[in-house]
């Protein structure tokens, strides 16, 4: 652009070249701004969808964990009650053999 202004000696031609350059720069900036705004809107909508999906998955995970925890405690209690019965049975059989 600077080199072109040194080559052109007519002042009206220089003004014309500079104004065309300015129009091209402003048009490029405007198009870039429009594209980026639409991209930002698209990314924001995707982000809100992902956040919603994350909350749903966290809720499901919490539900699964709660059910697992309940089943685990039920299993532990069941094992405790069975082992108590086994020890009682062993101790009764051991005591029977004692004089």
Supply φ then ψ for residue 9, to 5 degrees. -100, -20
In the block, tokens 């990314």 appear at 43
Split into its structural domains, the chain has a count of: 1
- Whether the Cβ atoms of residue 90 and residue 82 lie closer than 8 Å to each other: no
Measured in whole angstroms, how far is the alpha carbon of residue 58 from the centre of its chain? 12
Range of the domain at 68: 2-96
pLDDT digits (tens, 9 = 90+) for 29-85: 999 999 999 999 999 999 999 999 999 999 999 999 999 998 998 888 888 887 765
- What whole-number distance in Å separates Cα of residue 75 and Cα of residue 29? 67
pTM for the full model?
A: 0.52
């Amino acid at each position: 652009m600077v080199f072109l202004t040194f080559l052109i000696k007519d002042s009206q031609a220089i003004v014309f070249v500079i104004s065309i350059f300015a129009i091209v720069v402003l048009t490029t900036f405007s198009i870039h701004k429009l594209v980026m705004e639409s991209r930002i809107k698209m990314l924001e909508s995707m982000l809100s969808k992902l956040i919603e999906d994350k909350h749903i998955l966290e809720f499901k995970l919490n539900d699964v964990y709660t059910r697992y925890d309940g089943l685990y405690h039920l299993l532990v209690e069941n094992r405790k009650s069975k082992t108590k019965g086994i020890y009682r049975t062993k101790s009764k059989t051991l005591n029977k053999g004692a004089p």
